[in-house]
Structure 1
C-alpha cells in the first residue's frame, strides 16, 4: 500500500486500527479549540487506478476533548474513549450519532489519560490523572474494580497480549506498575531512574515478558522478570516521546512518536534506529500498527493530519 494521508479539521490525540476490519481506523481529538471534538471513524478505499484514498465515514461529537481511544476486541463496532472531563464513554459506531454514546461512566475524578481493551476478555481499562486505574465490563453501570497504588497521574495502561489477566501501567510518579486482575493486586513496581514521569507503555506482542516505556526523550525496554535495570535504555528523539507501540508481527520492532514531529522505528535486538519518518509538521501524539497488514503504520497529531503508510516502502 502506497502512503496516503487525510487533512482533517481536528488535532488528533490517538489513532487505532480495527481488529475486525483491516481498512478501518479510529481517531480521537482533544484540542480545546478544535471545531470537531470526539471520535472519527476513517475508512481506506481502493481507487480505480489501483491506489487508495481515506475518507471519514462517521463522526461522533463530544463537548470535551478525547485523550485516548481504542476499538473493542470483542465487538466489531464498539469503541471506548477517555475524556478530559474525567468520563469514559462507550460508543457503537454502527449506530447514528444521535444515539451516541451508548454508555457514559463518571467514576474518575480527573482527566482520563488512557484506555485499552483486553485482547482476550470482554473488558477494558481506563487510567486517569486521579492516580487510579479502573476495570470496566460492558453492560455494567459501575466499574468492576479500582486499582490504587500510583501516587501521581497514570498516563497509560496496556494489557498483556498472552496473559489476559495481567496489565502494565505508566505514571508521572516515575514508576511502572504490573497488575493481576485475578486477585486485583499489584504484582510488582518498576522504578524508572529518569527525572521525568513515565508517559507511555506497551507490551511486546510476541514476548510476554517484554515491555517498552517512554520517559522524556528516552525509551526503555524491560524484561519484567528482572526489573532492577532495563534491558535497553536509549535517547530516542530530539524532544519528549509521546507514545510507544510494538509491532504485532515482528518481536524486535518498536514504533515511537514524539513532540519533535517524527515517527521512528527501532530494532530492539540490535538497539538501532531502522527508520525515521518526517511526515508531520507538529507534535505526533498517536501511532498504531495494523494487526492485519504487516508494517502498516498510522499516525496522527497536532497538525491535523492522519498518515497511513507501509514501513517497508
Structure 2
C-alpha cells in the first residue's frame, strides 16, 4: 500500500487519470469543507511512494473532481461557491476557466465517456443538474426535478447524452439530455442518496449508496425493486463505484471509516472490508489501467493506493 499525507486538507474525491495509469487528482477542502479554501492535488505513484506533482488552490472548498476525456492535462472540480473550475494540471497558476451558473455548492462533476461526446455534468445543492460544453464553457442544459440537494451526477458509459443523479430526496433519476427531461425516477431509498454509479458491462444496471447504510443495485428496465441490497456498513455510504474489470463487483466507502468490496451476484455479497482510515472515507476510484488497483481518500488527510486481496483472488480464480 502507498500513502500520501494531505497536510491540513481533508479529502473529498479522488480520480485516476484515463491517460496516465500512475496519475491521480484529489479534491480537498480545509476544515472538513465547512470553511476555508480548497486544493486540487495532482499526484503520481512511483516506487515506493506517492509524489505531489502540483497543488492548485481555490478560494472555497472543492468537493468533486473529474478528468477530461479529451486532454490529458485537464481536470475539472466542483466548488463550494457554486462554480466549476477547469484546470491545466501541469500549470501552477489559477484555473483556465471558471463556469458559473449554480447558486449553491457543486457536489458532483463528471466528464462524459461515450464516443463523440464532449460534455460535463454537474450536480448542486441548488437542486439542479447542469450540462456544460467544456469547449465553449457554456451551460447547454439545466435539468430540474429533484426535490433535494444533488449529491451525485454520473454519465452512462454506454448511452450518449444520458446520466444518472441522486439526491437528498431519496430518488435515483435517469436523464436524457437531448430530450431535456427525466426519463426515469426511482424511489431508491427512504433516505438521502449520496452516490450512484453505472455498471461498466451492462447499460441497464446502476448502484446507489445512501445514508441508511445500504447499497441497492437497480435494473432500470424493471425498477420495481432492487436486484440486490447490500448491507454491512454501519454509517452512511459516501461513494459507490463499479469495477472496470468484473461485471458484478463494486466498491463502497463510508462514514464508518471503511471501504468495502462486494460481488452482488454472490451470497454473501461482501468480499472484504478494508479498515485503514481514521475518519470519513469520501473518495474512491478503480484504476482503469492496472487491474484491481484502488485509490481512496479520507477526512484523515490521507490518500491511499492499494490492491485488495479479495480482488487479487478473483483475478487468479482462487476466490
Across the aligned residues of Structure 1 and Structure 2, the Cα RMSD in angstroms comes to 1.4
Mapping of 1:10-89 within 5 angstroms?
10-32=9-31, 37-46=38-47, 52-89=48-85
Are the aligned partners of 2:32 and 2:299 in contact in 1 as well (CA < 8 Å)? no
CA distance in 2, matches of 1:259, 1:301: 9
Q: In structure 2, which of residues 6, 9, 25 is the aligned counterpart of residue 8 of structure 1? A: 6
* Distance in 1, Cα, partners of 2:43 & 2:19: 14
Q: Is the 8 A contact 2:230 2:264 kept in 1?
A: no
Deviation of 1:174 (Å): 1.0
Aligned ranges 1:198-237 → 2 under 5 Å = 198-216=193-211, 217-237=213-233
Query: Within 1, Cα distance between the matches of 2:189 and 2:10?
Result: 32
Pick from 281, 292, 297: which aligns with 2:294? 297
Question: Within 5 A, what are the aligned runs for 1:19-168?
Answer: 19-32=18-31, 37-46=38-47, 52-95=48-91, 97-98=92-93, 100-120=94-114, 121-168=117-164
Indicate the residue corresponding to 2:257 in structure 1. 261
Alpha-carbon offset, residue 33 of structure 1: 6.6
Residues 35-60 of structure 1: CA distance to partner in whole angstroms, max 9, x if unpaired?
Answer: 872200000113xxxxx311111010
Instruction: Give me the TM-score of the superposition, normalised by structure 2.
Output: 0.92
Q: Say yes or no: does 1:284 pair with 2:281.
A: yes
C-alpha contact (below 8 Å) 1:252/1:268 kept by paired residues: yes
* Structure 1 residues 93-120: Cα deviation after superposition (integer angstroms, max 9, x where no partner): 122x22x201111110100010011012
Cα pair 1:30 1:84 within 8 Å, conserved:
no
In the TM superposition, residue 234 of structure 1 has moved relative to its aligned partner by 2.9
Q: Is the 8 A contact 2:149 2:169 kept in 1?
A: yes
The change in CA–CA distance for 1:28 and 1:193 in structure 2 (over 3 A counts) is closer
Query: Deviation per CA, 1:64-100, whole angstroms, max 9, x where unpaired?
Result: 00011111111101111110111111111122x22x2
Q: Which moved more, 1:127-136 or 1:37-46?
A: 37-46
> Structure 2: how far apart are the matches of 1:25 and 1:252?
25
Give TM-score scaled by structure 1 length.
0.94
3-state SS, counterpart of residue 32 of structure 1: helix
Q: What is the CA–CA distance in structure 2 between the aligned matches of 1:118 and 1:311, rounded to whole Å?
A: 28
| Displacement after TM superposition at 1:296 (Å) | 0.4
Question: C-alpha deviations, 1:249-277, integer Å up to 9, x for none?
Answer: 11111100001110010011114110111
Structure 1 position 238 matched with structure 2 position 239? no
Aligned length: 303
Runs of 5+ unmatched residues, structure 1: 47-51
Structure 2, unaligned runs of 5 or more: 313-319
Q: Which aligned runs of 4 or more in structure 1 are off by greater than 6 angstroms? A: 33-36
